[in-house]
Amino acid sequence: MKILVGIKRVIDFSVRVQVKKDGSGVNTDGVKLSINPFDEIALEEALRIRERGTQTEIVAVSIGPADCQQQLRTALAMGADRAILVETGEVLQPLMVARVFHELVKREDADLVILGKQAIDDDFNQTGQMLAALWDRPQATFASKVELKDKTLTVTREVDAGLEVIAVDLPAVITTDLRLNTPRFVKMPDIMKARNKPLQTLKLEELGIAAAPKLEAKHYASPPQRMGGKKVADVPALIAALKERGVL
Ligand code: AMP
């Protein structure tokens, strides 16, 4: 069984993102960049599938500039067997990323792709669904529990109404929700071992995929400052305060 796992490099979740003065984007100079948290969960789940005894090869995949190698090395230290960097300096949008994964799935003959439910930079929440459509295979999005038996995955999904349990046949796409697992910490000896694990670099053009962004970001701005809360003495004062703000 072969599992591809998406490893996107994003601004670390603990960083307060600053918009550039000219509104052309967000500042990444000197900013801590990490693996998208949902992708760490995706990798952890692949590792657990392997640890439960299924003979599995885990391939970490990142699409982006050469520096993404750092995050791929971390994925290798966590336990991925090998990594693929699809190098490009282009602006990445979900359809293009899904096309790249589709091409790799065919080349690698993958049985399962585990992606995050969303990347915390753009919050698109689209890549997994688009990949399933391109690949014409089942998808189990927002997974909070995954069980594999033979060639069938039983996936508990977090949906608006609560939890839903579905069964999907492999090959398939899973996207991870926060409660699926808690990713392991990387240990020093594993970081050393990861240096010798294979990391293949491909150019986007080698996959026959042309970057053709469908969206253009014209301007970035910080969200408006939040107004502080206000305590009121009783219900009439609450109604008066809401009327004052034009809510009622
Ligand atoms: P999105 O649809 O952009 O919110 O991303 C959903 C998931 O797709 C992410 O959590 C990753 O697993 C995967 N993904 C998106 N962009 C990339 C990328 N550039 N490299 C690797 N995986 C990616």
The pLDDT tens digits of the residues spanning 45-84 come to 999 999 999 899 999 999 999 999 999 999 999 999 999 9
Please say if the pLDDT value at position 211 is more than 80: no
Residue 116 CA, ligand 1 centroid: distance in Å: 7
Please say if the pLDDT value at position 12 is more than 90: yes
pLDDT of residue 223: 87
- Angle (deg, nearest 10), helices 94-108 and 127-135: 50
Q: What is the mean pLDDT of residues 216-228?
A: 88
Residue 173 neighbours by CB under 8 Å, 6+ apart: 112, 113, 114, 115, 128, 131, 132, 135, 137, 138, 139, 140
Residue 132 CA, ligand 1 centroid: distance in Å: 13
Average pLDDT, the chain: 95
pLDDT of residue 92: 87
pLDDT of residue 39: 98
Domains assigned to the chain: 2-214 (3.40.50.620)
Q: Which residue ranges have their beta carbon within 6 Å of ligand 1?
A: 6-8, 36, 38-39, 42, 61-64, 92, 94, 97, 115-116, 118-119, 122, 124-128
In percent, the amount of the chain with pLDDT more than 90 equals: 86
pLDDT tens, position by position, 108-158: 999 999 999 999 999 999 999 999 999 999 999 999 999 999 899 999 998
Nearest to 127 by CA among 109, 148, 104: 104
- Reported residue count of the chain is 248
Please say if the pLDDT value at position 240 is more than 90: yes
Residue 80 CA, ligand 1 centroid: distance in Å: 17
Residue 18 CA, ligand 1 centroid: distance in Å: 22
pLDDT of residue 210: 83
pLDDT tens, position by position, 14-44: 999 999 999 999 999 999 999 999 999 999 9
Which position has the token pair 């409660």? 179
pLDDT of residue 227: 81
Residue 127 CA, ligand 1 centroid: distance in Å: 6
Do residues 43 and 75 make contact, with C-beta atoms less than 8 angstroms apart? yes
Instruction: Identify the residue whose C-alpha is closest to ligand 1 atom 10.
Output: 116
Instruction: Identify the residue whose C-alpha is closest to ligand 1 atom 7.
Output: 116
pLDDT of residue 216: 87
